[in-house]
């Protein structure tokens, strides 16, 4: 509904164990991260990435057990839930949680609000290793809200995702987006859609409003144009090619650091892989992003 306030917060916590930290300092940090906007919102979604370290053994083990059956994941989720509630419980109640290996999503709804917000329904999507593993993928929550008991309901979907990393995995990131929203793409290796959903799948884009957050892993594109052809491919393994690649990387690195020092956000945004993917229609068509005016 018009005027409803949604606060989205997302952090990659790199396997941090909250129980190993000073309790008071950690609580203060969480309150600072959430900010005043979360407490003033009708819906606050908090997404965490890498709640556990994504080591191969951990990923394989946790991909095939429920979060409740995993002592490690359950302990981490409990610690983060307690820390978030300590800040928000005066103004919000926890509507739902969902997790997938290192992903965790907590959705809070305001105790006092002009909107009636129905209980959330959640879903998980695996996209790691062709849809078999949960080291990459998404969790999502679907809510319905109306202004007053007689108001017309509108639907909100919060998607919290962790997509493929590394500079050269752009096509894979786009393919994972397409798999999560249920679209078909020639670039996708995810040929078994049924393997993606652990629960009844949500039609993400069928909602009135979609908030997409997470560690999407889109990078700053290299300024070096790739050379095509078999000859260029074979030459790329030679020592001269490797040295040239290192020099190209160093120039890119220096250019990025200069732009950061000058606060030249436009120069960096011009190389943003996500912006380019949206412009080409490869992923996230119709989504709007806040201005990227930060390092």
pLDDT in tens, 249-284: 899 899 999 999 999 999 999 999 999 999 999 999
pLDDT level of residue 61 (50, 70, 90 thresholds): confident
Question: How many other C-beta atoms are found inside a 10 Å radius of the C-beta of residue 138?
Answer: 31
Per the confidence metrics, is the pTM higher than 0.85?
yes
Question: How many other C-beta atoms are found inside a 10 Å radius of the C-beta of residue 81?
Answer: 15
pLDDT level of residue 83 (50, 70, 90 thresholds): very high
CA dist., res. 13 & res. 243, Å (int): 35
- 184 has pLDDT over 80: no
In terms of Cα–Cα distance, which of 271, 122, 223, 257 is closest to 292?
271
CA dist., res. 198 & res. 146, Å (int): 29
CA dist., res. 215 & res. 160, Å (int): 8
1-5, 79-83, 227-231: segment of lowest average pLDDT = 227-231
33-42, 147-156, 222-231: segment of lowest average pLDDT = 222-231
Mean pLDDT of 177-205: 63
Question: What is the pLDDT, as a whole number, of residue 190?
Answer: 43
Question: What is the pLDDT, as a whole number, of residue 176?
Answer: 96
Phi-psi region of 144 (alpha: psi -120 to 50; beta: other; left: phi over 0): beta
Question: What is the pLDDT, as a whole number, of residue 115?
Answer: 94
pLDDT in tens, 104-144: 999 999 999 999 999 889 999 999 988 889 999 999 999 99
- 23 has pLDDT over 90: no
Mean pLDDT of 208-223: 93
- 35 has pLDDT over 80: yes
pLDDT in tens, 234-252: 556 678 778 887 888 899 8
Question: What is the pLDDT, as a whole number, of residue 238?
Answer: 72
CA dist., res. 110 & res. 95, Å (int): 9
């Amino acid at each position: 509904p018009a005027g409803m306030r949604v606060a989205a917060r997302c952090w990659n916590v790199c396997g941090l164990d909250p129980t190993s930290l000073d309790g008071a300092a950690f609580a203060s940090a969480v309150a600072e991260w959430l900010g005043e906007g979360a407490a003033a919102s009708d819906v606050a979604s908090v997404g965490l990435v890498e709640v556990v370290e994504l080591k191969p053994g951990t990923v394989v083990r946790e991909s095939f057990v429920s979060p409740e059956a995993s002592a490690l994941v359950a302990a981490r989720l409990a610690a983060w839930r307690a820390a978030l509630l300590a800040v928000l419980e005066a103004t919000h109640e926890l509507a739902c949680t969902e997790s997938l290996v290192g992903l965790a999503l907590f959705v809070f709804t305001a105790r006092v609000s002009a909107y009636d917000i129905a209980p959330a329904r959640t879903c998980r999507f695996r996209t790691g290793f062709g849809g078999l593993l949960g080291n990459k993928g998404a969790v999502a929550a679907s809510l319905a809200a109306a202004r007053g008991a007689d108001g017309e309901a509108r639907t909100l979907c919060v998607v919290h995702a962790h997509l493929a990393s590394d500079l050269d995995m752009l096509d894979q990131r786009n393919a994972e987006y397409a798999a999560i929203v249920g679209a078909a793409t020639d670039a996708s290796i995810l040929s078994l859609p049924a393997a993606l959903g652990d629960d009844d799948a949500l039609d993400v884009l069928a909602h009135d409003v979609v908030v997409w957050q997470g560690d999407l892993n889109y990078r700053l594109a290299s300024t070096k144009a790739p050379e095509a052809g078999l000859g260029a491919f074979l030459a790329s393994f030679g020592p001269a090619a490797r040295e040239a690649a290192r020099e190209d990387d160093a120039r890119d690195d220096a250019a990025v650091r200069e732009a950061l020092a000058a606060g030249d956000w436009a120069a960096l945004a011009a190389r943003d892989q996500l912006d380019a993917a949206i412009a080409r229609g490869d992923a996230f068509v119709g989504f709007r992003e806040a201005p990227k005016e930060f390092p």
